[in-house]
Amino acid sequence: MNGRPAPAYRGRFAPSPTGALHFGSLVAAIGSWLRARSRSGSWIIRIEDLDPPREVAGAAQQQIETLAAFGLVSDEPILWQHQRHDAYAAALRQLVDAGHAFPCWCSRSDLQRSAGLHHSPCVAAPAQDRAPAWRLRVPDLTLGFDDRLLGRYEQPLATEVGDFVVRRVEGYYAYQLAVVVDDAAQGISEVVRGADLLDSTPRQILLQQRLGLPTPAYLHLPLALDAAGRKLSKQDQALPIDATDPLPALRAALEFLGLPIARLSHAASPPALLAAAVEVFDVAAIPHTASIVRMRHGSA
Ligand code: GLU
């Protein structure tokens, strides 16, 4: 003990408004909330509305209301990524000035013809008449991190990812850049999210290093699969959750995260159930592998 208080825990839930929240989103929201509360920390909602063509009108508001019906309310004003373009532009400028990002006019078919799956050197000549994409130059190294649930994860970036897009041809900033800029701006100390984003994390750590930003801790939660063993997706409307009757899905999500649900049966409202869940939440009990969701209907 050096007498200094430990830095405050800050966690977040960052949905893209591409459809209604499904059971997998609920697991990520609750997992990140439980982790923050069990550390006496803050939990913040961020709406990742970066990609207007994929956005569903009204989805962001509906997601916020659904979360509230489950007792999950942001401790700070919600951050909307559509209001953050200046910060992303500044980050891109920093990368370009340092020689880490470059303009790229390669088309999809150029990439297929030359590098195969991943972008390495550009093959297209610079064009005056159309805008480029901007890519981060990826060095030939393996980047790894220690996930707080899953342990060591390593990825050879050049062969598995290649030089990746940080700003798209259409002018939209890429998720990878925006998430890194905002996690740092919001002082997020630990990112808790679904394991579908595990293989994005080395890219995000590389961007943090290139931008001189701190790397938060990461904890990736098991994925929820539908009865056919497929990953749930918002676009498929897979296992949507019912905000008018939150308790069954809330109990199922807590059980999915390894909580002893029978010991929580006395709690009869979402806030009471969440408060009881914080007391017994244990990261060591979270399963490591994806599993099929067993949703019981009615008051299970
Ligand atoms: N916006 C991303 C999604 O909805 C999640 C981003 C994150 O948690 O890093 O899949």
* CATH class of the 85-177 domain in this structure: alpha beta
Best substitution site from 47, 175, 236 to test ligand 1's pocket, by max atoms within 8 Å of Cβ? 175
CATH dotted code for 10-82+186-292? 3.40.50.620
Residue 84 scores a pLDDT above 90: yes
226 band by pLDDT with thresholds 50, 70 and 90: confident
- Reported as a single tens digit per residue, the pLDDT across 146-155 is 999 999 999 9
What separation in angstroms does the CA of 134 have from each of 120, 169, 200, 238? Answer: 13, 8, 18, 34
Q: Which of 165, 185, 206 is nearest to 80 (CA)?
A: 185
* DSSP strands (E only) in 88-189: 101-104, 133-136, 142-147, 151-156, 164-167
Give the pLDDT confidence score for residue 111 in this predicted structure.
Answer: 75
Edge-to-edge strand ranges of the sheet holding 101-104: 101-104, 133-136, 164-167
Residue 1 scores a pLDDT above 60: no
In short, whether 194's Cβ falls inside 6 Å of ligand 1 is: no
Distance 293 CA to ligand 1 centre (A): 20
Q: Which of 38, 19, 26, 25 is nearest to 11 (CA)?
A: 38
Residue 107 scores a pLDDT above 90: no
For 137-156, what is the mean pLDDT? 97
CB 31 within 8 A of CB 192: yes
Q: Which of 201, 206, 200, 214 is nearest to 141 (CA)?
A: 206
Give the pLDDT confidence score for residue 300 in this predicted structure.
Answer: 34
Residue 82 scores a pLDDT above 90: yes
CB 213 within 8 A of CB 184: yes
- Reported as a single tens digit per residue, the pLDDT across 27-74 is 999 999 999 999 999 999 999 999 999 999 999 999 999 999 999 999
Distance 5 CA to ligand 1 centre (A): 30
In short, whether 92's Cβ falls inside 6 Å of ligand 1 is: no
Specify the higher pLDDT residue, 1 or 130: 130
Residue 178 scores a pLDDT above 90: yes
Stated pTM of the model: 0.93
For 7-18, what is the mean pLDDT? 95
In short, whether 49's Cβ falls inside 6 Å of ligand 1 is: no
225 band by pLDDT with thresholds 50, 70 and 90: confident
In short, whether 48's Cβ falls inside 6 Å of ligand 1 is: yes
Closest-lying ligand 1 atom to the alpha carbon of residue 18: 4
Residue 299 scores a pLDDT above 50: no
Percentage of the chain beyond pLDDT 90 is 79
Amino acid (1-letter code) at residue 260? P
In short, whether 15's Cβ falls inside 6 Å of ligand 1 is: yes
Asked if the domains 10-82+186-292 and 85-177 are classified in one and the same CATH topology, the answer is no
For 193-197, what is the mean pLDDT? 96
Residue 7 scores a pLDDT above 80: no
Domain extents in the chain: 10-82+186-292, 85-177
Distance 14 CA to ligand 1 centre (A): 5
Distance 178 CA to ligand 1 centre (A): 11
Residue 236 scores a pLDDT above 70: no
Residue 297 scores a pLDDT above 60: no
Residue 239 scores a pLDDT above 80: no
Best substitution site from 30, 44, 176, 179 to test ligand 1's pocket, by max atoms within 8 Å of Cβ? 179
